[in-house]
Structure 1
Amino acid sequence: MNIPSYIVAILGTGVWGSALGTIAKNNNHDVHFWSHRGDKSLESVVKEAPIVISAVSMKGVIPTIAKLKQLNFPSDKIIVTATKGLDPETTRTPSQIWQTAFPENPVVVLSGPNLSKEIAKGLPAATVVASNNLTAAEKVQEIFASDTFRVYVNEDPIGTELGGTLKNVIAIASGVCDGMKLGTNAKAALLTRALPEMIRIGTHLGASGETFFGLSGLGDLIATCDSSLSRNYQVGYGLAQGKTLDEILENLEGTAEGVNTANVLIKMADLEAIAVPIARQVHRLLRGKITPQEAIQALMERDLKPEFCDLDI
């Protein structure tokens, strides 16, 4: 297939943004990077680009949008959000924030089992691009699809986004599990029970339950919870080793979005009466209210019940 070349603007020059830029460059697209710490103006980077990719951290989403709102930003530009997180003030996802700010622009979510350092090395991977605007999603699919990066499309942006966001909290629990050397059986039980918890939250917020069995849900859950490359996994592992959260975050390369997500998720769960037993113990652990041993014990002592009583998709 002869795919036309596009100018692609990437906002954020961290490992993830850089990796996405490399993929687009290798597919013969003209990639322009912007960072709030860089010398290039935001206007010059996005002006000619029909595709604008946001790979900034969760805390950088709203400030970046504020800068773009000051520019002449045409409604035909496709906005791709590759950020995983929840806004602490509104509990909204990045795509919801982008769509509210630019209601006429197509917004596409890019998410999947994509450990940035593996992508940067050119190792094979797959991802999902999701949007209510299928034409926009298919254009983004064409830009990134390659012989080492398989790209799928779906029409459930909120489910795709929440899969990548919620698994970061579970990855902290997984790191605790490995840090305490609890074994493969315990970790398998943790991940299996985490999936219906993610589905419960997602469907409550309007996502399709089926999405969580795909790459952006189960796929990302497996990758992130079983790799020391995951920053969220590193947080949990460090806590299990007796380190303080501040000490871990100070030495972490990049942002562990699961820490903020856990705080926002519990706030949301309390308001909406959503059962999130794993996330709740992670939240208590991050706040220093319990030890890793107490968190595991609390989960093991929950009331007995049928396996599928809380999974409704």
Structure 2
Amino acid sequence: MSSPPKVLAILGAGAWGSALAGLARYKGHQVRIWSPSLGNSIEEVVADVDLVLSAVSMPGVSPTSTQIQSIKLKENIPIVTATKGLDTETTFTPSQIWSSRCSDHPIVVLSGPNLSKEIEQELPATTVVASEDINAAKIVQQVFSSKRFRVYTSSDPVGTELGGTLKNVMAIAAGVCDGLHLGMNAKAGLLTRALPEIIRIGTHLGGQTETFFGLSGLGDMLTTCSSDLSRNYRVGYGLAQGKTLEQVLSDLGSTAEGVNTTNVLIEIARREQINVPISGQVYRLLNNQISPQEAVEALMERDLKPEFSEKTIPPKL
């Protein structure tokens, strides 16, 4: 049974925010969009809405949530975060930032294999909405579910969010693999080893193992690591073609969250002593410490061992 039409405020007018706005309008909901680039008032946009959805870039999460904190929203309305990244200053995820600023509202994470360009083309897609407040997740599920966008619920917001965040690092590695024309054998090996690395990090930080085998983990990784619609994939591909990171980002003309995520992830891995061999080589590549070819060689030359015997040790970078 579909929910009655609601009034939504979508924060962020980029490709992802616009795609989500289109999905909400397709269901008959009224959508208001706010962005600093639009020059409109965030207070007016969120006034009396039934749901707030944040699709701002990672650097915008903290200032935007601070603005919302000072505004009196309707009581107990869900705040949905659709941003994938890690905060440079705190190493927090977007939902952790929103929870710290708006603790009197249920926070819902929306994440899945969702290329915004395909959604704008009205191609079918699936996603996950996750919250500790499962009723809030179900509200968001009803708002966005349609015949072209299937929405599943989860009670694991941490795992759902980290799956979508960490796969951006692996997408850079996958882009390098394809940019060097290493073939499908090499890429299959990379992605197969990438998943346990994501699980190792994600479960250490509080996510549930099974979540990473779902749409917001494995599903999102397969999509992002296989499509040139993925900005993070294109970063790795461009670096493998001999471009500098600055050139690649200039060519993209938009944010590739995996670059910042990699740097913050290595800070977390060092602090928590989590073994992250693939992420470690991506970090070295992004910080001009190693060439794409050397990164591949470093991964291929790791110590021989059984397939399932990873130990948690500090990454050597």
When normalised by structure 2's length, the TM-score is 0.97
Alignment match, 2:202: 202
| Corresponding residue for residue 152 of structure 1 | 152
Mean CA deviation greater in 59-68 or 162-171: 59-68
Q: When the two structures are aligned, how many residues end up with a matched partner?
A: 312
How high is the sequence identity, in percent, across the aligned residues? Answer: 62
C-alpha contact (below 8 Å) 2:50/2:74 kept by paired residues: no
Q: Which amino acid aligns with 1:84?
A: K
1:181-215 deviations in Å (ceiling 9; x for gaps): 00000000000000000000011001101100000
* Equivalent residues of 2:275, 2:311 under 8 A apart: no
**Alpha-carbon distance, 1:3 to partner:** 2.0
C-alpha spacing 1:311/1:21, structure 2 compared with 1 (3 Å): farther
Give the partner amino acid of 2:212. F
- How far the C-alpha of 1:251 sits from its partner, in A, is 1.6
Say whether 1:278 aligns with 2:272.
no
| Regions of 4+ moved over 4 Å | none
- Alignment partner, residue 92 of structure 1: 92
User: Is the partner of 1:251 in helix, strand or coil?
Assistant: helix
- Unaligned stretches of 5+ residues in structure 2: 313-317
Structure 2 match to 1:77: 77
Contact 1:171 1:224 in 2 (8 A): yes
Q: Whole-Å Cα distance in 2 between the matches of residues 258 and 163 of structure 1? A: 12
1:30: how far off? 0.5
Moved more, 71-80 or 153-162: 71-80
Q: Which residue number in structure 1 is paired with residue 315 of structure 2? A: none
The two structures have a TM-score, normalised by structure 1, of: 0.98
Deviation (angstroms), 1:253: 3.3
Q: Which amino acid aligns with 1:143?
A: V
Which residue number in structure 1 is paired with residue 250 of structure 2? Answer: 250
Distance 2:232 2:217 in 1: 16
The answer to whether the 8 A contact 1:163-1:216 is kept is yes
In 2: Cα distance, 1:294 partner to 1:247 partner: 20
Q: Is the 8 A contact 2:48 2:74 kept in 1?
A: no
CA–CA distance in structure 2, aligned partners of residues 245 and 47 of structure 1: 41
**Root mean square deviation of aligned Cα:** 1.1
Cα pair 1:200 1:311 within 8 Å, conserved: no
Per-residue CA deviation, residues 98-155 of structure 1 (Å, 9 max, x unaligned), is 0011111100000000001001111000000000000000000000001010100010
Correspondence 1:6 to 2:32: no
What is the CA deviation profile of residues 256-280 of structure 1, one whole-angstrom value per residue up to 9, with x for unaligned ones? 0000000000000001100000000
Structure 1 segment 79-158 matched on structure 2, within 5 A:
79-158=79-158
Task: Tell me what 1:31 maps to.
Answer: 31
Q: Which residue of 2 aligns with 1:232?
A: 232
Q: Partners of 2:166 and 2:140 in 1: how far apart?
A: 24
- Matched with 1:217 is 217
Q: Is the 8 A contact 2:80 2:108 kept in 1?
A: yes
